[in-house]
């Protein structure tokens, strides 16, 4: 399998949000009004104008001292993207996969698709619609930079080496190496996404303790529960149409 991938090593993430700011700057995304919601994380979620957000969670560590879990959240550029599958049902080319990198990209044709169908399809709660227009946006893998041999803006800016990017095979190898290194200190450590995504996270605790959608169970062939239900619904509609046709033919 070729293309690119991110390896995000949360064990060295310090929550500085340099990646979040770099993403805004490179993509020329405006600042948005924020609110104090009792957490240092800011803003509260991804949006049409925010493709990357560093999520903050405070827990009590094994030595009874507070610990912070940081989770730099972004599109996982799934190998079999549920968002693309949903879009393809309405219009081909609304969501495309970049040949060179494997990045999942949204195009202008996507405006023909109901935004909610796309946002609902994503198991990681990533795509966000613009209020008023319903247009959708998310991380682009900075393909405009990567196609010119540059690193994604978030990776280039990360001061600690938490954000890594390169050929997918190399990122898989790096993720496995780091997992082996941290296992003695953190026996519960895991790397998420190695089989089906282009963004892997090294986490030292249960993914849910970082963020509700940090990792989701994706069944074989990239299908989660939402996708399965949607497929069942589609098949039932088709069956109903077919049954009307057959009845007409025999009637
Ligand atoms: Fe699509 Fe969501 Fe996968 Fe990104 S994470 S490619 S938005 S399904
Ligand atoms: Fe933002 Fe580019 Fe990083 Fe995606 S790859 S989160 S668009 S800076
Ligand atoms: Fe973490 Fe690096 Fe982002 Fe800072 S720039 S929040 S260290 S991933």
Domains within the chain, CATH numbers bracketed: 4-75+148-220 (3.30.70.20)
Query: Is the minimum distance from the CB of 128 to ligand 1 under 6 angstroms?
Result: no
Q: Looking at ligand 1, which atom is closest to the CA of residue 127?
A: 7
Query: Is the minimum distance from the CB of 8 to ligand 1 under 6 angstroms?
Result: no
From 124, 197, 201, mutation site for ligand 1 pocket: most ligand atoms within 8 A of C-beta: 124
Contact assessment for residue 34 and residue 42, using Cβ atoms and an 8 Å cutoff: yes
Exposed/middle/buried for 127, CB within 10 Å: 0-12, 13-18, 19+? buried
Question: For residue 244, is pLDDT > 70?
Answer: no
What is the distance between the alpha carbons of residues 192 and 24, in angstroms, rounded to a whole number? 26
Res 177: pLDDT: 98
Type and span of the H or E element at 53: strand 53-60
Put simply, whether the predicted model's pTM sits higher than 0.75 gets the answer: yes
Mean predicted confidence (pLDDT) in 197-216: 97
Question: For residue 68, is pLDDT > 90?
Answer: yes
Type and span of the H or E element at 163: strand 163-167
> Rounded to the nearest whole angstrom, what is the distance from the C-alpha of residue 154 to the centroid of ligand 3?
8
Mean predicted confidence (pLDDT) in 17-22: 98
Q: Residue 43, preceding bond cis, omega within 30 degrees?
A: yes
> Rounded to the nearest whole angstrom, what is the distance from the C-alpha of residue 231 to the centroid of ligand 2?
31
Closest residue CA from atom 5 of ligand 3 = 158
Query: Is the minimum distance from the CB of 162 to ligand 3 under 6 angstroms?
Result: yes
Query: Is the minimum distance from the CB of 24 to ligand 2 under 6 angstroms?
Result: no
Q: What is the mean pLDDT of the chain?
A: 91
From 140, 147, 201, mutation site for ligand 2 pocket: most ligand atoms within 8 A of C-beta: 140
Q: Which ligand is nearest to the CA of 154?
A: 2
Query: Is the minimum distance from the CB of 52 to ligand 1 under 6 angstroms?
Result: no
Helix, strand, coil percentages for the chain (3-state, nearest 5):
35, 20, 45
Res 217: pLDDT: 74
Q: Looking at ligand 1, which atom is closest to the CA of residue 125?
A: 2
Residues 6+ apart with CB under 8 A from 85: 121, 227
> Rounded to the nearest whole angstrom, what is the distance from the C-alpha of residue 205 to the centroid of ligand 2?
25
Question: For residue 251, is pLDDT > 90?
Answer: no
Query: Is the minimum distance from the CB of 124 to ligand 1 under 6 angstroms?
Result: yes
Question: For residue 229, is pLDDT > 60?
Answer: no
When pLDDT is cut at 50, 70 and 90, the band that residue 221 belongs to is: very low
């Amino acid at each position: 399998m070729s293309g690119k991938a991110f390896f995000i090593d949360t064990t060295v993430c310090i929550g500085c949000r340099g990646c979040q700011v770099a993403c805004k700057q490179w993509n020329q995304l405006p600042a948005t009004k924020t609110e104090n919601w009792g957490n240092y994380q800011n803003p509260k979620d991804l949006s049409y104008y925010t493709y990357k957000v560093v999520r903050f969670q405070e827990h009590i560590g094994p030595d009874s001292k507070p610990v912070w879990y940081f989770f730099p959240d972004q599109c996982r550029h799934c190998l079999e993207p549920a968002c693309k599958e949903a879009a393809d049902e309405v219009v081909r080319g609304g969501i495309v996969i970049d040949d060179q990198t494997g990045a999942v990209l949204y195009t202008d044709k996507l405006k023909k698709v109901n935004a909610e169908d796309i946002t609902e399809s994503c198991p990681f709660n990533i795509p966000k619609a613009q209020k008023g227009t319903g247009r959708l946006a998310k991380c682009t893998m900075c393909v405009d930079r990567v196609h010119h041999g540059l690193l994604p803006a978030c990776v280039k800016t990360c001061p600690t080496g938490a954000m890594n990017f390169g050929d997918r095979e190399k990122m898989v190898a790096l993720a496995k190496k780091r997992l082996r290194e941290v296992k003695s200190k953190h026996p519960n450590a895991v790397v998420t996404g190695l089989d089906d995504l282009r963004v892997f996270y090294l986490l030292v605790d249960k993914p849910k303790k970082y963020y509700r959608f940090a990792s989701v169970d994706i069944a074989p062939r990239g299908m989660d529960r939402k996708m399965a239900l949607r497929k069942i619904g589609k098949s039932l509609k088709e069956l109903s149409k077919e049954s009307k046709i057959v009845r007409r033919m025999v009637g």
